[in-house]
Structure 1
Amino acid sequence: MTTKNLQLATFGGGCFWCTEAVFQEVKGVEKVVSGYSGGNAPGHPTYREICSGLTGHAEVVQVTFDANIISYEDVLVIFMTTHDPTTLNRQGADVGTQYRSVIYYHNDLQKEIAELVSKEITPYYENPIVTEISPLDVFYEAEKEHQDYYKNNQTQGYCSFVITPKLAKLRKLHADKLK
């Protein structure tokens, strides 16, 4: 029996429904929780408050993964290639600071790896990478209706037109890393 080496990664790549759906398909990922980080408003923010753009929080996911199966570096490469890390405060039609591209690191090693991955993938993009790399302060879990959103709402328009194509891109680019 192999002991698990569970670690956390926290990042935002636009709408958390998209990022959550991507990582739920990745081999070695144990759990994905949608939530909010990086804001300055006191207390536990709500989805409505986040959507206003006034709290400073980003929509993020917190990924629990087994580092014996998938490395933090591979998790970051998947993250950086399944959203657009070159658009400031925007992913497609989702616009605002709550949709920023951000990696919240949990320790110095994660910071170092995030900076390295960002530098390594830069040549693959025409525009500069604008992904923020910051220390994780607090992670607030989003409301229940935002958890497992794609799994529970696949026929909803946003899911069909935005998330399903992201999953197709994931399957094309990272087939060897999927469950």
Structure 2
Amino acid sequence: MAKKRSGGTRKPWWVLGLLIILLSMGSSAAVYYLLDETSGDTGEQQSEGEQQQEVVAPQPSYIKIEPFTVNLQSDEYDQRLLYVGLSLQVTDEATKRRLKDNMPQVRSRLIMLMSSQNAEALTSPKGKEALTDEVISLFERPIGGSEEPLSVDDVLYTEFIVQ
């Protein structure tokens, strides 16, 4: 009789453990399914929103300025040089055309601006950011006799050596 009682008491615990395992597996599967479904929906909504933004936002184009070298102002050394190549990011085709048509004036403005820079300032990231802002503001003035504003959005340095 003792064997029946010990065997009998083990069976309900075994069944209870099996039920707990099955319930936890089922709830895990349900949570996974629900989370996967919601993340799939938001992914579709985001991609649709991104597509709408891509349609609205104009595609930027770039004007490459051939590299040039200028003398820099320096406090510590006798002579410092800057070798710089850059591209201007524009979104307006009219701006792109005017910049290309007036490239000698564009290069002249850039050379004058770059040669007035301090060599020590240009070696730091903040100095490069300040230079970028100055280059963008350089194109706020009309160019080539036109009164239409130029829309230069960014300056991208392709080569930048201070020596």
Larger radius of gyration: 2
Q: Structure 1 length normalisation: TM-score? A: 0.28
Structure richer in helix, relative to its length: 2
TM-score, normalization: structure 2? 0.30
